[in-house]
């Protein structure tokens, strides 16, 4: 069996968590990531019959029965993943009845999956139905996106249109727009259900006054999705106090989408 610390998904998880912490997106123990391993990936590095410990689930995850995930731990700092992956990460497998998960590897200090694992699982279920290649769910607190939810309308159309206007790549990278939830108590099944419902149609979901969830096929894709929205939000925050005299028109934004042949929300442009 191959050395799991040399697995491509392990290397990517260490690289991406370090970068997100460096950017200030995941302060202290904030933020969480989960990646759905393929059976081929899992079997190459793990004994799938191992059960170190079990964790109960607060949701019915039967739709993901038998699925294996690498996930960040609750209370863990992203800055430590690079140096102590076995303590800060865990690989878990959903039970056949969807009521619990088995720890196959990791959380060596007695840790457990992120407290928002229920959100991740529900979002994975939603995204797999929309696009079976979407196997990454990433949660972060990018400063400027977060700031926008304090000073900008959280109407999804208005929020998205501002981001499209202020980053030329926006409509190409997230043509379906960004969904926005009003403030809700985190760590509950209610916010998990609301987020997953938005994930039926969106790969980016803002939690107002909290952070963002992003989904993608790869670590780079999910990271780049958040990164692009954050760049647009930064431009908004830096220019909102002065007159903007050069803003792309809706026609110009639409022309970009048409050039790159993306299926964008036409009704979200005037």
Residue 47 CB neighbour total at 10 angstroms: 11
Spot the catalytic one: 18, 27, 84, 116: 116
pLDDT in tens, 191-221: 999 999 999 999 999 999 999 999 999 999 9
Asked whether the beta carbons of 163 and 226 are under 8 A apart, the reply is no
Q: Tokens at residue 268, please?
A: 């979200």
Instruction: Say whether pLDDT at 7 is over 90.
Output: yes
* pLDDT exceeds cutoff 90 at 6: yes
Task: Report pLDDT digits (tens) over 67-113.
Answer: 999 999 999 999 999 999 999 999 999 999 999 999 999 999 899 99
Contacts of 122 (CB under 8 A, 6+ apart): 59, 192, 193, 195, 196, 199
Q: What percent of the chain has pLDDT over 90?
A: 90
Confidence of residue 50 (pLDDT cuts 50, 70, 90): confident
pLDDT bin (cut points 50, 70, 90) of residue 33 is: very high
The stretch 240-264 carries a mean pLDDT of: 92
Average pLDDT, the chain: 94
pLDDT tier for residue 189 given thresholds of 50, 70 and 90: confident
Identify the pLDDT of residue 248.
92
Q: State the residue for tokens 């998904």.
A: 9
pLDDT tens-place string over residues 10-26: 999 999 999 999 999 99
Average pLDDT score over residue span 177-184: 96
Residue 144: pLDDT band with limits 50, 70, 90: very high
Predicted pLDDT at 195: 96
CA distances from 232 to 40, 41, 222, 257 (A): 38, 35, 16, 16
Over 90: is that where the pLDDT of 237 sits? yes
Helices (H), ranges, 46-188: 78-81, 85-88, 117-130, 143-151, 156-166, 170-173
Q: Is 116 a catalytic residue?
A: yes
Side-chain half-sphere exposure of 92, counting CA atoms within 13 A: 32
Taken in order of first residue, the domains within the chain and their CATH numbers are 1-115 (3.40.225.10), 143-270 (3.40.225.10)
């Amino acid at each position: 069996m191959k050395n799991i610390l040399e697995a491509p998904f392990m290397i990517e998880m260490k690289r991406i968590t370090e970068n997100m912490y460096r950017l200030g997106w995941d302060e202290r123990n904030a933020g969480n990531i989960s990646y759905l391993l393929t059976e081929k990936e899992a079997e190459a590095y793990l004994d799938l019959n191992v059960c170190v410990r079990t964790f109960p689930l607060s949701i019915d995850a039967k739709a993901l029965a038998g699925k294996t995930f690498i996930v960040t731990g609750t209370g863990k700092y992203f800055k430590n993943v690079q140096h102590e992956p076995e303590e800060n990460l865990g690989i878990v497998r959903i039970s056949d009845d969807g009521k619990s998960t088995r720890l196959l590897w990791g959380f060596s200090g007695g840790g457990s999956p992120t407290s928002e694992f229920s959100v991740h699982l529900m979002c994975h279920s939603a995204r797999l139905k929309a696009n079976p290649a979407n196997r990454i769910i990433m949660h972060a607190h990018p400063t400027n996106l977060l700031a926008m939810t304090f000073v900008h309308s959280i109407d999804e159309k208005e929020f998205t249109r501002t981001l499209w206007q202020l980053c030329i790549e926006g409509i190409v990278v997230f043509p379906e727009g960004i969904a926005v939830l009003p403030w809700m108590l985190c760590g509950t099944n209610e916010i998990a259900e609301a987020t997953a419902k938005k994930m039926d149609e969106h790969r980016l979901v803002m939690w107002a006054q909290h952070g963002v969830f992003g989904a993608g096929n790869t670590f780079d894709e999910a990271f780049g999705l958040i990164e692009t929205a954050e760049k647009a939000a930064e431009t908004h925050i830096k220019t909102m106090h002065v007159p903007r005299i050069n803003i792309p028109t809706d026609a110009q934004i639409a022309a970009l989408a048409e050039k790159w042949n993306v299926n964008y929300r036409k009704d979200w442009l005037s």
